[in-house]
């Protein structure tokens, strides 16, 4: 499980999403009659990452969690930017199936999936990108998708913060509060 240095609602949301990833993997193993912790589980994970486009994103993320990059030694897709194997794996990650939950705007599940990937492999992204995606996690988990104008407004206020502030804030309200104090 990923410990998010940022506390508050984003950390709680990530814990909840990660639990859903693990739940989905357990039922996936059951479907294939595979026992956790066996070589068959690793084989199954490898077959998932070989063609991510036919599996749900939670299954794909769980599969990556169970594999190690032979080049950098990190979780597959979770190594530093520049590890070719991880960069490639991370690209395939986003080909997975994203099914919007009932009564949520189209694209919400995509947003949740991307925000989760950013929060779980945060060293692959800059402080401002991390800030926007991680603060968005609780909303997306609740089934809310900020519109384009709203998202742009969030980005504009995040851009007014220092990188240190970006790492510390735990809500968009806090971002607004900090940025409104700033004279530019």
Q: Contact residues for Zn ion (CB under 5 A)?
A: 69, 71-72, 79, 83, 85-86
The least CB distance from residue 49 to Zn ion, in Å, is 13
Nearer to Zn ion, 61 or 109 (CB): 61
Determine the Cα angle at 22 with ends 53 and 146, to 5°.
65
In the structure encoding, which two tokens stand for residue 146, read together? 């900020």
Rounded least distance, CB 118 to Zn ion, Å: 17
Entry field: residues in the chain: 184
33-71 core/surface letters (b: 16 or more CB in 10 A; e: else): ebeeeeeebeebbeebbeebeebbbbbbbbbbbbbebee
CB of 13 to Zn ion, least distance (A): 27
Q: Which is nearer to Zn ion, 16 or 84 (CB)?
A: 84
Phi, psi of 80 (to 5 degrees): -70, 155
| Smaller CB separation from Zn ion, 7 or 80 | 80
- Those residues whose C-beta lies under 8 Å from the C-beta of residue 172, and which sit 6 or more positions away, are 135, 154, 157
Q: Are 135 and 128 in contact (CB under 8 A)?
A: no
Shortest CB 98 distance to Zn ion, Å: 24
CA distance 77 to 6: 22
Q: Which is nearer to Zn ion, 72 or 114 (CB)?
A: 72
In whole angstroms, the minimum distance from the beta carbon of 70 to Zn ion comes to 8
In the bound state with Zn ion, the residue whose beta carbon lies nearer, of 82 and 147, is 82
For Zn ion, the closer of residues 89 and 139 by Cβ is 89
For residue 75, the SS3 value is strand
Instruction: For the CB of residue 45, give the shortest distance to Zn ion in the complex, in Å.
Output: 16
């Amino acid at each position: 499980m990923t410990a998010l240095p940022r506390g508050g609602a984003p950390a709680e949301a990530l814990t909840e999403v990660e639990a859903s990833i693990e739940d989905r993997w357990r039922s996936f193993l059951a479907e294939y009659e595979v026992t956790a912790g066996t070589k068959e589980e690793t084989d199954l994970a490898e077959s998932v990452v070989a063609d991510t486009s036919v599996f749900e994103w939670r299954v794909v993320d769980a599969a990556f969690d169970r594999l190690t990059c032979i080049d950098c030694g990190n979780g597959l897709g979770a190594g530093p930017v520049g590890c070719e194997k991880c960069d490639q794996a991370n690209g395939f990650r986003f080909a997975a199936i994203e099914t919007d939950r009932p009564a949520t705007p189209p694209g919400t599940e995509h947003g949740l999936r991307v925000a989760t990937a950013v929060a779980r492999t945060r060293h692959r992204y800059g402080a401002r990108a991390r800030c926007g995606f991680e603060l968005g996690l609780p909303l997306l988990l609740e089934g809310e998708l900020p519109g384009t104008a709203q998202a742009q407004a969030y980005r504009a206020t995040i851009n007014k913060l220092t990188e240190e502030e970006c790492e510390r804030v735990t809500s968009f309200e806090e971002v607004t509060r900090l940025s409104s104090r700033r004279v530019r």
